[in-house]
Structure 1
């Protein structure tokens, strides 16, 4: 059961972070300021889903990792602190700041500098979580059954 929860939470986090990132790119390229504000608000609200998903992934991964070793497990363990710190120190504060600015119509150069930082940090988490999913699949013996 822990393996199923771990996989579900990890995929949920990956998909939502990817959706946040793609929505931001799309709305910045093609949307109005009102659309940007809507996406920024949606991202802040979506954190109520993605943060518990990442926490659940970390907790279940720690529990599952105690029973295993090997290069894939070690790589997953090394990535998790970076994923968590990136989210806690860059992504969450950036999302809140950008939502505040966008809801007040403040789209100055500092908004776009923080937006760039958020996109870079988000891309990093997408790569790190995606790499952990790949390594998790390597740990599976067949179609979702863990070793």
Structure 2
């Protein structure tokens, strides 16, 4: 079981990074297109994309906990601290933003509330992307040191 976790953990972590990056790139590309229907479709797709992202993050966190054991130290502890920020950021900011933006876009309401929340979403997403990247890097360091 432990061997399987060691294989699946980085794959799902990498998939989570790709999901967040694709959400951000698609948002920026849709905005640059200037087409309101493209923006609305993108926000709707991101909402559905959460059905991939959230389980990936949850399983990555749980499998990391299983791999590290009950008393993580060193890089493992650092990764756990980052995951707390990533999880809080996702639950408290990113998921509500995704629902708000998809709802507003479906009604073609693109005023200052939409763009303010979208800015917040891009900022929080950027933070999560950097933290996940750091966790991925540290995970590779841990694997190489075994």
* Superposition TM-score tier, normalisation by shorter sequence: over 0.9
Count residues in correspondence. Answer: 143
Are residues 1:25 and 2:44 paired?
A: no
Q: Which runs of 5+ in 1 are unaligned?
A: none
Identify the residue that residue 124 of structure 2 maps to in structure 1.
121
Identify the residue that residue 53 of structure 2 maps to in structure 1.
50
Q: Which runs of 5+ in 2 are unaligned?
A: none
> Where has structure 1 moved over 6 Å in runs of 4 or more?
none
Return the offset for 1:72. Answer: 1.5
Are residues 1:76 and 2:79 paired?
A: yes
Distance (whole Å) between structure 2 residues aligned to residue 84 and residue 111 of structure 1:
23
> CA RMSD for the aligned pairs?
1.4
Distance (whole Å) between structure 2 residues aligned to residue 75 and residue 101 of structure 1:
37
- Determine which structure has the larger helix proportion and give its number: 2
Distance (whole Å) between structure 2 residues aligned to residue 77 and residue 85 of structure 1:
12
Return the offset for 1:65. Answer: 1.2
What TM-score, normalized to structure 2?
0.93
| Equivalent of residue 62 in structure 2, options 53, 59, 62 | 59
1:78-104 deviations in Å (ceiling 9; x for gaps):
101111110000000000000000010
What TM-score, normalized to structure 1?
0.93
